[in-house]
Structures are given as structure tokens and as C-alpha cells.
Copies of this chain bind each other. A is one copy, B any other.
Amino acid sequence: MIIIYLAIACGVIAVVYGFVTSGQVLKAPPGDQKMQDIAAAIQEGAKAYLGRQYRTIAIVGVIVAVILFLTLGPLTTVGFALGAILSGAAGFVGMNISVRANVRTAEAARTSLQGGLTLAFRSGAITGMLVAGLGLLAIAVLFWYLIGIAGHAPNGRAVIEALTALAFGASLISIFARLGGGIFTKAADVGADLVGKVEAGIPEDDPRNPAVIADNVGDNVGDCAGMAADLFETYVVTIGLTMISIALLVPGLVGEDLLALMSLPLIVGGVCIITSIIGTYFVRLGKKQSIMGALYKGFWATALISVPAIYAVTSAALGDMNATIGGGFTGADGPSFTGWGLFICMMIGLAVTGLLVWITEYYTGTEYRPVRSIAKSSETGHGTNVIQGLAISLESTALPTLVIVVAVVATYQIAGIIGIAFAATSLLALAGMVVALDAYGPVTDNAGGIAEMAGLPDDVRTRTDALDAVGNTTKAVTKGYAIGSAALAALVLFGAYTTDLRHYATELGLTGEVDFSLSSPYVVVGLLLGALLPYLFGAFGMTAVGRAAGSVVEDVRTQFREDSGIMAGTSRPNYGRTVDIVTKAAIKEMIVPSLLPVLAPIIVYFVVMWVATMGAPDPLPIEYGSAEAYGRAQGFAAVGALLLGVIVSGLFVAISMTSGGGAWDNAKKYIEDGNHGGKGSEAHKAAVTGDTVGDPYKDTAGPAVNPMIKITNIVALLMLAALAAAGSGGESMMVAIGG
């Protein structure tokens, strides 16, 4: 129990860090009146958007909560609500600090690069620590309540269901926030560029462009709030899933031993919050004034300090590091394991994090072949830029896949599925630092915009541009990291699904093992349908951005037409109207695609079950008692395959989109730095096209694949529980359907 208290303490420290650092950031000078006015407009727009987004999500959330209450009872509902509210809170708080740090970063950049870097990074660190801290607190406090106050067994069904519901709440909010925010930010960005840069011929962030405030709002609601909700979800799902998999797969363990092992992911997460906070103090410019180098110093310091820290808490929690843990396994036919084994798995997790960061840097950094090849191909026009960008985006999936494949096999050989789960836990334990690096990006992006709009001297803009450039890489890093953790978690989620199937076999009316062999046509069909989801989801996201951007273009054209003073610079454009239009469009567009992964497992189960029952072979194989039992088994097999299909295809779709998009963006930046003709050249125009294409790729469709994968898996787990509850009681399900 002491371990859980320690983990809660670490979570509290993260929150305290957030408050203290917020105070420091807010104390920094907010610039002149003009800058403050602009910042106020951005704040107002961001708040208005997030308010409306949360109200819309709340409606969906309440409906889901009622369904959960009727089918699975109050505990699940509370877990769901907790996850949903905290996921929303993580996004809200992150956005709130980000819209205040932007103007202060611009002001600090008047004096020095280090000043701007410190402010922007501190603001990012607040978001990062709050994401990790709130995530850890949510799980740890819930776990503490369930086993302490409510008196459930650590591996009891109540704990498993509550943790699953917590993850579901976080996932549901995060898919809306990621997608809605992603559509907002890119619709505003693309729309502003199209009508400003292309049609009117005015530069980016020109205050005459009515969409310019919407563009800056987008950075905060998409890249900051949406990203924070997404990473909160990833954190909660991964740590929670590790605990669930211990509860499900190591039944031989009881009493203190069980509690210690189940608390280990919590304290690993806790201690890594501390190492992340320490790491933030290593972020300083060196002699070379390399911004990326400064950020990396923080990251690598955190990673290095985490090695002994994780060892310390592991040996403290488990005692003898060489003792074999657990007796028989169910579901995981891996070897039994030791504390040392788990520690090595966690080190593999850290190594995966480092490798994913390095690979993303290679594919999106301006010093390496991929970005330079796109820049070079821009010389021959728009078409060749896009062709080369697509080639790089396809290619960029290879190394991360190999890293994940090696990690899966190695950790599985050491400690079975539990080993994979612990690797994912240590990967995510660094979330505080990784999110800090990412949330730094929108602040500097905004700072640049404010500097431009407020007419600050050119050297300020040069400094904010330098700060912003590395943001493209750090943003890509977080997305690769999140999807990488999803791939690592895939087998663990599948393990939870199969174990639950076995657990509920009687209630579900299953008479034999569900056959997940690739030679079953229902499995192949499930794989194909699962693989389709990221494609369809991506298509929705890309189309939504195109449509919403179109409405921005029309509004701006109308404003230019109605008031010729705007272009002349004599009258102020109606920024609020554009923000309002993008807000409405983004919220309208996010609903349908977000429901796709929620409904897919349910629809696939019922359709396949019905079809397989109808077409059950005659004579029936012995193990199935009836055609219905055969049909149910095939339905569950198809859903299981769907879960793996969605990750097998989603991993590639997500990585290719996020890395490719980052590479396109930085190829443009590389040309703007004076290569291949520099700004204004034909190559630059082609690179702008590539950047526009990459925008919805990397900031809308690609990153939303990560919560989409999780939500499909969690809905499948909840569906099993709901079907089982209906099977034994029946009434609750009928009430839900009837009322």
C-alpha cells in the first residue's frame, strides 16, 4: 500500500510543479498593449472553441454514461466519468497555459533566444507534467479506493472493470479532442494559407488576414489541447492495461506479492515524473546555440536518470529481484519471470523510446537525406515534391516497425505478455518529458504569429522561427511515440480480450475455445475490416479538413469583398466570425468519424454472429453445442481479428502520415533557409504545396489513429462485459434497449 501512496505523492508533485511553474510563466512580462490584444483574441477564440467542443462531447458522454450505467452498473460509470473529465481537464489546462505563454515567449524573444526557449519550454513542461500527473493520480487514486475503501481484491473483477472504464472515458474524449482539434487547426491553417498567401499574396500571419487568429487558435486547441487529451489517454490506457494484464494473466499471485506487482507500473510512472521534472532543468542552449540540442539534453537526461530510478523502485517493490514471480499463466504461454526480467523489459521500453525519437528525427530533421530529398525534388515542381514526400512517408514506416517487432519478441521471450506490457509502461512513463517537448511547439508557433501581427522587429521573428522549426520534429516525435506504444500494447490488449472471453465463456454462451487461427475465414475477414478502419477514418479526416478549409476561404473572400479597408490595413477584420465558422465546421465534422471505431466492433460482432449462425456447417463441429454457439464464437473471432487488423494497418497509416507530414513541413523550412533558391523561388512554391498536403496528414488524420485504435479495443472489452451481464441477468440489457 505504501507504494501506492508514493505513486500518489509523485502525481501530486507533478500537479504542484504545474502550479508553481505556471506562476513563474505568468509573472513574465506579457508585452505591449498590441501584443496583449492579439493574445486576448487568441485566448477568447480558444476558450470559445474548447467550450463548445466539450459541450458537444458532454452530450455524447452522458448518453454513453447512461448506457454504461444500465448495462454495467455504477462503478463502471464512475470510472468512465473520471477518465472523461480528467482527459478533458488535461487538454483544458494545457491550452490555458499555452495561450498565456505564447505572448510572453514573443516578449522574451525580444531579448534572447534562451529567454524565449525557457518560457516556451516551461509552458510545455507544465502541460507535460499535468498530463502524466493527472493520469497517474486517476489510476492510483481509483485503485487505492477500490482495494482500500471498497475492499475489493486487487485482481478482482471490480478493479478490472473500473480501470477499463477509466480508459474508455479517457479514450472517448481524446478521439473527439484529437480529431475536432485537428480539423480546426488544419482547416484554419490551410484556409488561411490558401486565401492569404496564394490568393491575396500577403505573408503568413499577416494581421490583414481574417483567418489569422483562427490559425493561431488552432495551434492551441489542436496541437496543445487535443494532443494533451490524446497523451493522457495513452498514458492511462497503457499503465491501466499493464495492471489489468497482471490481474488477468498472473492468477497464481496473491496478497502482498500481487499488490506489489500491480503497484509497480504506478510507481514506475511516479518516479519517472520526478526524473522528467529533473530533466527539464537540463534544457539549456549550449555553445552551438542548437535548440534541438537543448531539448534533447532534457530528454536524454530524463532517460538516463530513469534507468537507476526504475531499478530502485522495482527492487524496492518486488524485494528479491531474482525470485520467480507468479505460478501458472493463463493465456500467456511465455516463461515465468523475475524482477530482473521485468527490469530488462522496461529498459527495452526506454530503448524503444530513444530509437523512435532518433528515427523520427532522421525522417523529419533538415540535416538528413529524407527532408533534403523532398527539398531537392521541389526544384522540378509541385508534382515531384509530392511524389517524393509520399515516397518518404511510405519508407518512414520501416524502421519503427522493425524496432517494435524486435521489442515485442525480446520482451515476450523474457516475461511473456507481462513483459510486453512493462515495456509499454516504461515507454509511456517518459510521457511527461515527451509531452513537454511537444507542447512547446504551439507556444513558439503562436509567439511567431504574435510577433508578426504586432509588428515586432525582424530579429524577434527570426528567433521565434528558429524556435518553431524544431517544433515540427518534436511534434512528429510524440505522434510516433504514441502510435508505437499502441503497437506494443496491441498484443497485451488482445491478451486481455482473449482472457475475458475465457472468463465470461459461460455467460456468453461459448461452448469451446474461440478459434483465432489465420486459417479461419472469419479471422481473415476481421483482419480486413480492421485494416479498413484507419483508411476510412483517414479519408473522413482529410475530407473534413478540405471542406472546413473551403468555408474559411469563402468567409475571408466575403470579408475582403465587403470591406476594402481590410486589405488596405485601415480596418480590422472580423477575426471572431472566422473563428466561429471554423468552430462550427470542426465540431460538425468530428462526430461521424469519431463514432466509427466505437461502433465498428459492435456491428462486426452482431453481423458476423448472425451470418455465421445462418451459415453454420452441417454437421456442426462437435465442440459447438448449437448453431448459435458456433455463430457467437465466429463473431468473437472476427472482433478479435478486427482489433489486430486495426493496429496492423493503423501503425503504417499513422507513421507514414505523421513522419511524411513533418518531412514536408521541414523541407519547406529548409528551402526558406536559403537552399534550392530560397523563399519566393519556384522550389519554394512547390514546397508550400507539399506542406499544405502534409498538414491534414500529420495533424488531423495521422495522430487521431492512435486513440482510434485504443477505443476499438476498449469498446470490444466493454462489449464482452455487457454481453456477459446481459447473458446472466438479461434484464439490464433489455432495460437499456427498451428504455
Residues of A within 8 A of B (CB): 190, 193-194, 198, 331, 333-335, 377, 380-384, 386-388, 390-392, 394-395, 397-398, 401, 404-405, 408-410, 412-413, 420, 487, 490-491, 494-495, 498, 515-519, 521-525, 527-529, 531-532, 535-536, 538-539, 542-543, 545-546, 549-550, 553, 608, 611-612, 615, 617-618, 621, 640-641, 644-645, 648-649, 651-652, 656, 688-689, 691-693, 696-697
Distance between A599 CB and nearest chain B CB, rounded to angstroms: 15
Q: How many whole Å from A442's CB to the nearest CB in chain B?
A: 21
Shortest distance from the beta carbon of A627 to any chain B beta carbon, whole Å: 12
B residues in contact with A649, CB < 8 Å: 531, 648-649, 652
A611 partner residues in chain B, CB cutoff 8 A? 409, 413
29 A-B pairs with CB atoms under 8 Å apart are A194-B381, A194-B383, A194-B384, A331-B519, A334-B617, A382-B382, A383-B691, A383-B693, A387-B546, A387-B696, A388-B546, A390-B697, A394-B536, A395-B539, A397-B535, A397-B536, A398-B532, A401-B531, A405-B525, A405-B528, A409-B615, A410-B615, A413-B615, A413-B617, A420-B521, A498-B519, A518-B518, A524-B644, A535-B652
Closest to A386 in B: B693
List 5 additional A-B contacts (Cβ < 8 Å) besides A382-B692, A490-B524, A649-B652.
A190-B383, A381-B689, A387-B546, A392-B539, A394-B539
A268 vs B250: C-alpha distance in the bound complex, in angstroms? Answer: 56
Contact, CB under 8 Å: B527 / A380 = no
Assembled-state Cα–Cα distance A333/B618 (Å)? 11
Residues from chain B with Cβ under 8 Å of A652 in the complex:
531-532, 535, 649
Question: Taking the nearest CB of chain B, how far is it from the CB of A612, in angstroms?
Answer: 8
Contacts of A688 in B (CB 8 A): 383
- Which residues of chain B come closer than 8 Å to A693, judged between CB atoms? 383, 386-387, 390
Shortest beta-carbon distance from A32 to chain B in Å:
35
B528 touches A651 (CB 8 A): yes
Do B394 and A521 touch (CB < 8 A)?
no
Which one of B549, B550, B644 lies within 8 Å of A527 (CB-CB)? B644
Chain B residues closer than 8 Å to A390, beta-carbon distance: 542, 693, 697
Q: Which residues of B contact A519 (CB under 8 A)?
A: 331, 491, 494-495, 498, 516
Can you name the residue of chain B whose Cβ is closest to the Cβ of A420? B521
* A618, B335: Cβ atoms closer than 8 Å: yes
Residue pair A401, B542 in contact (C-beta under 8 Å): no
Residues of B within 8 Å of A524, CB to CB, are 408, 490-491, 494, 644
Given the complex of chains A and B, what is the CA–CA distance between A241 and B384 in angstroms?
40
Nearest Cβ in chain B — how far from A152, in angstroms? 27
A621's nearest neighbour on chain B, judged by CB, is B333
CB distance from A639 to the nearest CB of B (A): 11
Closest 8 pairs (CB-CB, A-B): A383-B692, A413-B615, A391-B542, A395-B539, A394-B539, A382-B689, A412-B521, A516-B518
* Residues from chain B with Cβ under 8 Å of A392 in the complex: 539
- The answer to whether A536 and B641 touch (CB under 8 A), given A194-B384, A333-B621, A388-B543, is no
Instruction: Determine the distance from Cα of A398 to Cα of B529 in the docked complex, in whole angstroms.
Output: 9
Complex contact A522–B692 (CB within 8 A): no
Verify B553–A380 contact, CB threshold 8 A. yes
Tell me if B409 and A521 are in contact (CB < 8 A): yes
* Given A382-B382, A518-B640, also A535-B689 (CB < 8 A): no
